[in-house]
Amino acid sequence: MCCFHVLYNVRKRTKHMEPATRKAVMDGIVRIHYTDNMNTLCSEKEAVLSKWREIPELTTFSSYFTERWLDSRFWRWQAFHTPAGFATTNNPRETFNALTKKYTGRRRLYMQRLFRVRMTIIEDAPKRTPATETKIQVASTTASRAASAMINTGKVLAFATDNPALCRVKQLRKDDVPDNQELDEICQALDGPFNADCESRDELVSETAFLGPALLVRE
């Protein structure tokens, strides 16, 4: 089940509510979505539903959400159900169709004209050279800054893997954020594995580091 469809239907049910109430709903859904195992899912689900029931405006909505998105056959929309590297939507064609709609202006075209538009889409697509599995791709400046900011504020942790050039990143909830001393340790530089692909240390610009400073730890 795609989480987007859950949020889409929930927005339709909550669009008439107060902003604070809608925020409580979305925050709860996000907490449930980013659980990492079944035990955490059960505890988070009960905590979120209990918080919703304290709000009179969400009494009916809590029953709807439980029946429709938690106890039905459409309940598997949490992040841990999707293996790493796989699409998080149950219909990857949606992204491709969205691009086509941008080129057609959401108009229905004859087949000949539609094929011409398809060719334009293909010609405009950026040409990318496939990279080998062992080669580390340098992240964009925007992505690097965003990753560094999340690490520096203690929102994510980087865990070591069997591959010295890769690490696993886990997002932290607010109540899991470490104290200042631990945060200082987390912000220690972990540039070694990501510099291995460079001929010299000077070739790696700080702004384009793969993940920025992080702590190499073991679970």
Rounded Cα gap, residues 136 and 49, in angstroms? 42
- The better pLDDT of the pair 160, 5 is held by 5
Confidence at residue 76, expressed as pLDDT on a 0 to 100 scale: 84
pLDDT at 169 over 70: yes
Domain residue ranges in the chain: 3-81, 93-124, 141-208
Confidence at residue 153, expressed as pLDDT on a 0 to 100 scale: 77
Q: Which residues contact 208 (CB under 8 A, 6 or more apart)?
A: 138, 139, 140, 141, 144
The long-range contacts involving 69-78, CB below 8 angstroms and separated by at least 24 positions, are 69/6, 70/45, 74/1, 74/6, 75/1, 76/1, 77/1, 77/2, 77/3, 77/5, 77/6, 77/33, 78/3, 78/32, 78/33, 78/34, 78/35, 78/41
Confidence at residue 208, expressed as pLDDT on a 0 to 100 scale: 36
Q: How far is CA 203 from the centre of its chain?
A: 30
- The better pLDDT of the pair 160, 201 is held by 160
Question: Rounded to the nearest 10 degrees, what angle do helices 19-33 and 3-14 cross at?
Answer: 160
8-state DSSP, 189: -
Confidence at residue 101, expressed as pLDDT on a 0 to 100 scale: 87
pLDDT at 175 over 80: no
DSSP secondary structure, 133-169, as one string: TTPPPPPPHHHHHHHHHHHHTTSEEEEE-SSTT-EEE
- The better pLDDT of the pair 207, 165 is held by 165
- The better pLDDT of the pair 163, 19 is held by 19
Can you tell me the mean pLDDT for 72-87?
A: 77
pLDDT at 61 over 80: yes
Would you state the structure tokens that stand for residue 3, as one six-digit string? 């989480």
Q: Highest mean pLDDT range out of 67-76, 163-172, 174-183?
A: 67-76
Q: What is the pTM of this model?
A: 0.45
Mean pLDDT for all residues in the chain: 74
pLDDT at 40 over 60: yes
Can you tell me the mean pLDDT for 8-34?
A: 90
Rounded Cα gap, residues 214 and 219, in angstroms? 15
133: exposed, middle or buried (Cβ count in 10 Å: 0-12, 13-18, 19+): exposed
Confidence at residue 50, expressed as pLDDT on a 0 to 100 scale: 93
**In DSSP terms, which residues pair with 159 in a beta bridge?**
168, 217
Would you state the structure tokens that stand for residue 92, as one six-digit string? 């990857």
- The better pLDDT of the pair 9, 1 is held by 9
Can you tell me the mean pLDDT for 130-142?
A: 70
Condensed to tens digits (0 to 9), the pLDDT of residues 112-126 reads 999 999 899 888 888
